[in-house]
Amino acid sequence: GNSVTQMEGPVTLSEEAFLTINCTYTATGYPSLFWYVQYPGEGLQLLLKATKADDKGSNKGFEATYRKETTSFHLEKGSVQVSDSAVYFCALTSSGNTPLVFGKGTRLSVIA
Amino acid sequence: GAVVSQHPSWVICKSGTSVKIECRSLDFQATTMFWYRQFPKQSLMLMATSNEGSKATYEQGVEKDKFLINHASLTLSTLTVTSAHPEDSSFYICSARAGLGDYGYTFGSGTRLTVV
């Protein structure tokens, strides 16, 4: 079945540091890939997505590229801010109306 | 954009009572809604898939008699935790696909249930 593996946290960075959160997946066919962010006590918000190989999703300075050859979708940001502190989830779906499969989440803490 | 409104955002109830959580799609019709449960510092676990006008499909290990799901209209799905016990305390989140061609899933803001 489909699965997502992402690096375990917590990750603690200083403000303006470079961020990478690794995500790899196992899936049949050509899944769509997502990154979601969860702030404390809140639901999930879509951060970015990519629906086919070599697509790059980007939003709020975050980027991730769909790499089919390495089955990866690593999240990157060049300069993190304190306000980026949250839990980040990598997810995938194989078809339009099936539920998302999530990784375990990576907690990011950015300190000033 | 597509919005899913989830209520209540938090609830405290006594053991043995039942709690109903509602999720409404505000500006789109959600033929399918997904219910997740999240334990502290853990990922989201899919509980069930709710289809408008038919019975929900539950994931293995989820008690359908305990977690009653009703999807009576295209804009409303409810999850009722029956005879709640402290081990049911958790964060429950619903999600719906807004019918976008690029698989746009929208999440409710979640409900934190505490059973005392």
- The Cα B24–Cα B14 span in angstroms is 26
Residues composing chain B: 116
Q: Are B109 and A42 an interchain contact pair (Cβ–Cβ within 8 Å)?
A: yes
Chain A residues inside the 8 Å CB shell of B62 = none
pLDDT of residue A8: 84
Long-range contacts of A47-56 (CB under 8 A, 24+ apart): A47/A75, A47/A88, A49/B102, A49/B103, A51/B102, A51/B103
Q: How many CB pairs under 8 A join A and B?
A: 51
Chain B residues inside the 8 Å CB shell of A45 = 107
pLDDT of residue A75: 98
Q: pLDDT for A57-105, tens place per residue?
A: 999 999 999 999 999 999 999 999 999 999 999 999 987 668 899 999 9
**Mutation for testing the A interface, residue in B5, B24, B43, B112 having most A CBs under 10 Å:** B43
pLDDT of residue B100: 56
Nearest by CB to residue A104, choosing from B6, B43, B106, is: B43
User: With pLDDT > 90 as the criterion, what percentage of chain A qualifies?
Assistant: 79
| Lookup result for tokens 């609830």 | B11
Nearest by CB to residue B44, choosing from A32, A34, A102, is: A102
pLDDT of residue B102: 54
pLDDT of residue B98: 66
Q: Are B105 and A104 an interchain contact pair (Cβ–Cβ within 8 Å)?
A: no
Q: pLDDT for B9-35, tens place per residue?
A: 999 999 999 999 999 999 888 888 999
Specify the DSSP element, H or E, that contains B45: strand B44-51
Task: Indicate if the pLDDT at residue A111 is higher than 90.
Answer: yes
- The Cα B91–Cα A66 span in angstroms is 30
Question: How close is the nearest chain A Cα to the Cα of B44, in Å?
Answer: 7
Three-state DSSP class for residue B29: coil
Best CA proximity match to A63, nearest among A93, A101, A18: A18
Q: pLDDT for B41-91, tens place per residue?
A: 788 899 999 988 888 999 999 999 999 999 988 899 999 999 999 999 999
Search chain A and give the residue with CA nearest B93. Answer: A43
